[in-house]
A and B are shown apart, each in its own frame.
Chain A
Amino acid sequence: MKSKRVYTFCHLLLLAFLSLNIRLQAQDTIIAKSCELPSISISYVRAYTTTPGLVVLQADSIQQSHYQAGTLTDLLGANGLLFLKSYGVGNLATTSVRGASANQTSVLWNGINLQSPTNGISDLSLMPSILCDNVSFQTGGGSAGWGSGAIGGVIQTNSYPRFSEGIRARYTGQVGSFGELDQGVLVGFSNSKISSDIRIYNQQAKNDFTFNNTARLGNPLDTVSNSDFLQRGIFGESAMKFKDGNQFVSVKAWYQSSDRRIPPTMLETSSEARQKDEFFRAVANYKYFSKTNFLFEIKSSVLTEFMDFIPGYSQRNSLTHSISFINEADIRFKLFDKVLTYVGLNQTNSKADVTGYVPSTVQNRASLFLAFSYILKSNWNFALNFRDEEVQGKITPLVGSLGVEWSRMKYLTIKTNISRNYRLPTFNDLYWQPGGNLNLKPEDSWNEDVTADFHYKKNGFHGNYSCTIFNRNTTNWILWQPGPGYWSPENLLSVWSRGFENRLKLKYTKDKFDFTLIGGYDYVLATNEKANSPGDVSLGKQLMYVPTNQFYGLVQFAYSKYYLEFNERYTGLRFTATDHSTYLNPFMVTDATVGKRFDYKKSYGDIFFRVNNLLDSQYQAISWRAMPGRNFQVGITIDFKMLVKDKSQTIN
């Protein structure tokens, strides 16, 4: 009786989402391993079949718990997971993976690509950490699994239900220099069948820090103006398992609004620029799995986006409204005993109203995903993926990936992956008036990786070192170029990226003492391989703003419940002109945190004090954009859990 009601409820929910869209849909995230939750909802099929051969870095969990109140910019920045290009605190932050552009890396939220259909950017500063129960970063191409845009890599952020945890409540807050106040509250309830939580957050800062203005004679002290920001949002999710444990349904909804002012550069006297972003995102998802490895998932999401860019000084503002419906269906079954086969369908319908182009511009896309995964003798793992997409009736080139992993004992894993990836032109590229170019081809990229991953574990010691050598060739790279009268995008660049990435993690625990060292060093050459005129001397030169050398390190000492940690990030020289006539100097930023953790039964608390930019280094990530010197943060997290007698206990 009860389960019937649940069925009806789920069907209604699904219908509600599906009816938003006339054409039927599909999605490609099923779950890999069946029965264990919560891993069930985070291990998407595609994560399972597209990552063999690639390096997937998880945000360190300790780190993650210390950056709960901020945004992904802070979390990823402190983790050193990837190179961030930030225009300053609270402002646009994007990533460049192995020299890829800002819109060549996909940011996924619960398996849904958040790249804006209009400009292709996903701004990490608009992603609050409190919504990310789990953050991972996969380097190398992932288009076969995740579709357009996954040329450089894929950042995955997931929130997931926790069943059988009873009542949960968490408060996290931090105050910092320059009027920073970030707070988040989570309240949740779960039993073995139902899990629900709601999260509310608020982040604000004045950002009125002082800096030495190196653009002015004598480098006088200046104060940043027009730099405050405010971001708030609410997120809720509910998930349900069915009585027999082989069906699962979840709904997540998220609203956020942010308002930030964009400060002047060191060479501008003032700025009135301001950007307001507002969005609503929701996803409903249903899964069915059987004990025989058969799995079926359907997922439907709606993403709305509103952006108002106000340049100030009586210039006209630019409005962007967009709505996307993304629907996916995945099925997994066993083929020839050992080969797991996945078939996925994705349908994306987007509509945009933008000041720059014809109102109600629509784009319909459909893609088919096919994957095979094969495990041989438990130390060989193969995965083969394909995707083909149809955009407005045009078929994009077939993409795919082949990943192989081989492990020797528990000490060594060798991985290799080859993939072809693509990025579709954005709405702005296609439709902007004037200049939009309807003849643009998708960016086309081949990526090859080899990784050696060493593990060592003995007594209280755990060591892990991996080295990846990669090569990537991207052609048809879309670039806006001045033409007769206006700028217009063309498939201009050919970029060759290659280099190596090193990751080291050492952990030693003895009694109450705990030592952790995490380090990374990346060497990236990303060069332009095509000159567009005889006078163009950028041929063979490193792309602008791509550092050849990057390093990060994290050292943590913990004794009993006390901890002390240092974060260090080094970014090498970056050129700011394609002919290398100008450049930004390398910089190093160190943060130090001291804190204490409290535990009480299943609950815990954490307080910390942090000094950001401990050595007060003056640096520029973007030309003439001031960055804060030494500054301070104090934060607290209280996580309360109480198990509740579960009357609906069922056997899973």
Chain B
Amino acid sequence: MKNKNFFSISIFTLLVLFSTSCKKDEPTPVANTGQAIAIGDGVFVSDEGNFQGGNAKVSFYRFSDGSSIEDLFSPTNTRPLGDVCQSLSIINGNAYIVVNNSGKIEVANPSNLRSVATITGFVSPRYILPLSSTKAYVSDLYSNTVHVLNLSNNTISGSFAFPGQSEAMTLVNGEVFISSLNHDKVYVVNPITDLITDSIAIAMGGNSMQLDNNGKLWVLCYGDYFTSAAGGLYRINTTSHTVEQSWPFTTFESPTHICSNAAGDTLYYLNYGVYRFPSNTASVPTLPFIAQTTQSFYGLGIRPLTGEIFVTDAVDYSQRGHLLRYTPAGVLTDDKLVGVIPGGIWFY
């Protein structure tokens, strides 16, 4: 730190003060194009916003012209979406927007996100998994239950006890596999009886799952946040409920968002960069396919139709993030502003 001449600073300060005091303070809002959204048009991005900041949003990116809308929900409904938007799933033609820290799900028309119903009564909902046209499960961080939703009238019809935080959910051959962030297991649930029938030992912090082209379930765990125990990647045989192969991480890191292309033969995940490997692999790569440099990669999705890679960048977690579009070969083709802390990518 160099010492500065005090008087010149004072004079300089005065000049700066006078030159900047006329500057307008008002931020410029991002325009909503107002064009209705149809199936196949683009991708929704769930922007978490800051915890207790109330700035959760749903953004939309259009494939055809690369146009984007930063905030769909609140202009349409003339109220804020809520606190921490965790996920968005299209079920029965409606968008189910899970607003984690507002303890609710907004059911909205995907063409403009006009709310048609609000389901309340959750504690800390995370993801929704449709089981049939009338039934869905909702995972929850702090209720120690999994909620059962009646999709015909959009109400909570019940719940079943779950030993801890329920997180990612996948329906495979009439069984539901549910991961937990604070337990080192994947639980198997019978969706007819809503009873836990089995559990499979893995690492702590199971945050995402993906079914591959061989019918194997991949579970990604970041480990134990409190003890810094490392996580791992697991391939589970969904018939025998056993771990077929595992790739433990050596240190506590932040692997998230395991996902695949439409064919399910190529898997991807995020860990300070985008990693990619074939589903029949014997080893997972040690170097990322798309390296993170100055960005803060936060969300990942693979466009089913083209295999394009979509990644979000949360920058400093206190300003609007970016949606980055890459070709299947990993070449950046677009970069658009979305909301604060864009966490989820949901193709429509």
- Residue numbers of A with Cβ under 8 A of B are 215-217, 265-270, 313-315, 397, 416, 418, 420, 433-434, 444, 446, 448, 450, 469-471, 473, 475, 481-482, 484-486, 498-500, 523, 525, 532-538, 544, 548, 572-573, 575-583, 623-624
Query: If the complex has contacts A217-B77, A485-B254, A581-B320, are A444 and B9 also in contact, measured as CB distance less than 8 A?
Result: no
Interface stretch of the complex, out of B16-24, B87-95, B184-192: B16-24
User: Chain B residues with Cβ under 8 A from A484's Cβ?
Assistant: 253-254, 271-272
User: Chain B residues with Cβ under 8 A from A444's Cβ?
Assistant: 1
Query: If the complex has contacts A268-B83, A268-B102, A583-B27, are A536 and B225 also in contact, measured as CB distance less than 8 A?
Result: no
CB of B131 closer than 8 Å to a CB of A: no
Q: Report Cα–Cα, A581/B47, bound state, in Å.
A: 14
User: Which residues of B77-113 have CB atoms within 8 Å of chain A's CB atoms?
Assistant: 77-80, 82-83, 101-104
Interface residues on B, range: 35 or more
Partner among B80, B319, B340 whose Cβ is within 8 Å of the Cβ of A267: B80
User: Chain A residues with Cβ under 8 A from B79's Cβ?
Assistant: 215-217
Closest Cβ–Cβ distance, residue A275 to chain B (whole Å): 15
User: Chain B residues with Cβ under 8 A from A525's Cβ?
Assistant: 16-17, 20
Closest Cβ–Cβ distance, residue A397 to chain B (whole Å): 8
CB of B14 closer than 8 Å to a CB of A: yes
Asked whether, in the complex, the Cβ of B319 is within 8 Å of the Cβ of A573, the reply is no
Asked whether, in the complex, the Cβ of B82 is within 8 Å of the Cβ of A267, the reply is yes
Query: If the complex has contacts A471-B9, A486-B254, A525-B20, are A623 and B54 also in contact, measured as CB distance less than 8 A?
Result: yes
Measured CB to CB, the nearest residue on chain A to B27 is A580
Closest Cβ–Cβ distance, residue A456 to chain B (whole Å): 25
Measured CB to CB, the nearest residue on chain B to A492 is B316
What are 29 A-to-B residue pairs whose CB atoms are below 8 Å?
A215-B79, A217-B79, A268-B52, A270-B103, A313-B124, A314-B142, A314-B143, A314-B144, A416-B6, A434-B252, A448-B4, A473-B1, A481-B316, A485-B251, A485-B253, A486-B252, A532-B294, A535-B294, A535-B295, A535-B322, A536-B316, A536-B319, A538-B316, A576-B53, A581-B27, A581-B319, A581-B320, A583-B27, A623-B54
State the main secondary structure of chain B at its contact with A: loop
Contact with A along B114-146 (1 / 0, CB 8 A): 000000100110000000000000000011100
Asked whether, in the complex, the Cβ of A535 is within 8 Å of the Cβ of B315, the reply is yes
Measured CB to CB, the nearest residue on chain B to A582 is B55
Closest Cβ–Cβ distance, residue A270 to chain B (whole Å): 7
Q: Report Cα–Cα, A217/B10, bound state, in Å.
A: 49
Query: If the complex has contacts A268-B102, A268-B103, A434-B225, are A532 and B316 also in contact, measured as CB distance less than 8 A?
Result: yes
User: Chain B residues with Cβ under 8 A from A548's Cβ?
Assistant: 25
User: Chain B residues with Cβ under 8 A from A499's Cβ?
Assistant: 17
Query: If the complex has contacts A434-B252, A538-B316, A579-B320, are A215 and B54 also in contact, measured as CB distance less than 8 A?
Result: yes
User: Which residues of B301-342 have CB atoms within 8 Å of chain A's CB atoms?
Assistant: 313-320, 322, 340
CB of B13 closer than 8 Å to a CB of A: yes
Asked whether, in the complex, the Cβ of B10 is within 8 Å of the Cβ of A448, the reply is yes
Measured CB to CB, the nearest residue on chain B to A497 is B13
Q: Report Cα–Cα, A485/B204, bound state, in Å.
A: 13
Q: Report Cα–Cα, A418/B3, bound state, in Å.
A: 10
Asked whether, in the complex, the Cβ of A624 is within 8 Å of the Cβ of B52, the reply is yes
Asked whether, in the complex, the Cβ of A523 is within 8 Å of the Cβ of B225, the reply is no
Query: If the complex has contacts A469-B10, A485-B253, are A265 and B27 also in contact, measured as CB distance less than 8 A?
Result: no
CB of B157 closer than 8 Å to a CB of A: no
Closest 10 CB pairs of A and B: A533-B294, A579-B319, A313-B142, A485-B254, A624-B54, A267-B83, A267-B54, A578-B319, A484-B272, A578-B318
Q: Report Cα–Cα, A624/B102, bound state, in Å.
A: 12
Closest Cβ–Cβ distance, residue A134 to chain B (whole Å): 31
User: Chain A residues with Cβ under 8 A from B316's Cβ?
Assistant: 481, 532, 536, 538, 578
CB of B228 closer than 8 Å to a CB of A: yes
State the main secondary structure of chain A at its contact with B: loop
Q: Report Cα–Cα, A572/B25, bound state, in Å.
A: 10
Measured CB to CB, the nearest residue on chain A to B122 is A269
CB of B218 closer than 8 Å to a CB of A: no
Asked whether, in the complex, the Cβ of B13 is within 8 Å of the Cβ of A471, the reply is yes
What is the total of A-B residue contacts with beta carbons within 8 Å? 150
User: Chain A residues with Cβ under 8 A from B21's Cβ?
Assistant: 523
Closest Cβ–Cβ distance, residue A451 to chain B (whole Å): 11
Measured CB to CB, the nearest residue on chain B to A500 is B17
CB of B222 closer than 8 Å to a CB of A: yes
Query: If the complex has contacts A270-B103, A434-B228, A469-B13, are A448 and B318 also in contact, measured as CB distance less than 8 A?
Result: no
User: Which residues of B169-200 have CB atoms within 8 Å of chain A's CB atoms?
Assistant: none
Closest Cβ–Cβ distance, residue B318 to chain A (whole Å): 4
Q: Report Cα–Cα, A270/B83, bound state, in Å.
A: 12
Query: If the complex has contacts A217-B78, A269-B102, A535-B294, are A576 and B55 also in contact, measured as CB distance less than 8 A?
Result: yes
User: Chain A residues with Cβ under 8 A from B30's Cβ?
Assistant: 581
Q: Which of B14, B52, B272 has the most C-beta atoms of chain A within 10 angstroms of its own C-beta?
A: B52
Asked whether, in the complex, the Cβ of A475 is within 8 Å of the Cβ of B1, the reply is yes
Asked whether, in the complex, the Cβ of B123 is within 8 Å of the Cβ of A313, the reply is yes
CB of B296 closer than 8 Å to a CB of A: yes
Measured CB to CB, the nearest residue on chain B to A87 is B52
Q: Report Cα–Cα, A498/B252, bound state, in Å.
A: 42
Asked whether, in the complex, the Cβ of A266 is within 8 Å of the Cβ of B54, the reply is yes
Q: Report Cα–Cα, A498/B4, bound state, in Å.
A: 15
Q: Which of B27, B223, B251, B253 has the most C-beta atoms of chain A within 10 angstroms of its own C-beta?
A: B27
Q: Report Cα–Cα, A418/B10, bound state, in Å.
A: 11
Q: Report Cα–Cα, A485/B228, bound state, in Å.
A: 9
Closest Cβ–Cβ distance, residue B309 to chain A (whole Å): 18
User: Which residues of B212-232 have CB atoms within 8 Å of chain A's CB atoms?
Assistant: 222-223, 225-226, 228
Measured CB to CB, the nearest residue on chain A to B273 is A484
Q: Report Cα–Cα, A538/B315, bound state, in Å.
A: 10
Partner among A266, A315, A582 whose Cβ is within 8 Å of the Cβ of B142: A315
User: Chain B residues with Cβ under 8 A from A535's Cβ?
Assistant: 294-295, 313, 315, 322
Asked whether, in the complex, the Cβ of B83 is within 8 Å of the Cβ of A265, the reply is yes
Q: Which of B1, B144, B294 has the most C-beta atoms of chain A within 10 angstroms of its own C-beta?
A: B1
Q: Report Cα–Cα, A254/B328, bound state, in Å.
A: 66
Asked whether, in the complex, the Cβ of B222 is within 8 Å of the Cβ of A577, the reply is no
Asked whether, in the complex, the Cβ of B4 is within 8 Å of the Cβ of A446, the reply is yes
Asked whether, in the complex, the Cβ of A313 is within 8 Å of the Cβ of B313, the reply is no
Further pairs besides A481-B316, A486-B252: 14, Cβ < 8 Å:
A215-B80, A268-B101, A470-B13, A482-B314, A485-B252, A535-B295, A537-B319, A573-B26, A576-B55, A578-B318, A581-B320, A582-B340, A623-B53, A623-B54
Query: If the complex has contacts A267-B102, A535-B315, A583-B27, are A577 and B254 also in contact, measured as CB distance less than 8 A?
Result: no
User: Chain B residues with Cβ under 8 A from A471's Cβ?
Assistant: 9-10, 13
Measured CB to CB, the nearest residue on chain B to A479 is B316
Measured CB to CB, the nearest residue on chain A to B228 is A434
Q: Report Cα–Cα, A567/B123, bound state, in Å.
A: 41
Measured CB to CB, the nearest residue on chain B to A476 is B1
Q: Report Cα–Cα, A248/B55, bound state, in Å.
A: 57
User: Chain A residues with Cβ under 8 A from B54's Cβ?
Assistant: 215, 265-267, 623-624
Partner among A270, A420, A450, A577 whose Cβ is within 8 Å of the Cβ of B318: A577
User: Chain B residues with Cβ under 8 A from A572's Cβ?
Assistant: 25
